[in-house]
Amino acid sequence: MKGGTAIWYPLFPGIEYKPVFMTECFELVYHGGGGFSWSEVWNMPVLHRRFNIKKINAHLEKLEQMRNEANQVVTNKTDMSKVKIPKEVMEASKQYSYATTASKPKK
Q: Could you read off the pLDDT of 47-78 as tens digits, one per residue?
A: 999 999 999 999 999 999 999 888 877 776 66
Tell me whether residue 64 is in a domain. Answer: yes
What does the pLDDT average to over 9-31?
77
For residue 3, pLDDT over 50 is answered with no
Tell me whether residue 55 is in a domain. Answer: yes
For residue 10, pLDDT over 60 is answered with no
What does the pLDDT average to over 98-104?
64
Range of the domain at 52: 17-77
What is the number of structural domains in the chain? 1
Tell me whether residue 12 is in a domain. Answer: no
For residue 80, pLDDT over 70 is answered with no
Tell me whether residue 101 is in a domain. Answer: no
Inter-residue contact 40 to 28 (CB < 8 Å): no
Tell me whether residue 82 is in a domain. Answer: no
Mean pLDDT of the chain, nearest integer: 77
Tell me whether residue 63 is in a domain. Answer: yes
The letter for the amino acid at 89 is V
Q: Which SS3 state, helix, strand or coil, does residue 18 take? A: helix
Tell me whether residue 47 is in a domain. Answer: yes
Tell me whether residue 100 is in a domain. Answer: no
pLDDT confidence bin for 34, thresholds 50/70/90: confident
Residue 28's Cβ-count burial label (10 Å; 0-12, 13-18, 19+) is: buried
pTM equals 0.53
Give the pLDDT score at 4.
45
Share of the chain above pLDDT 70, in %: 64
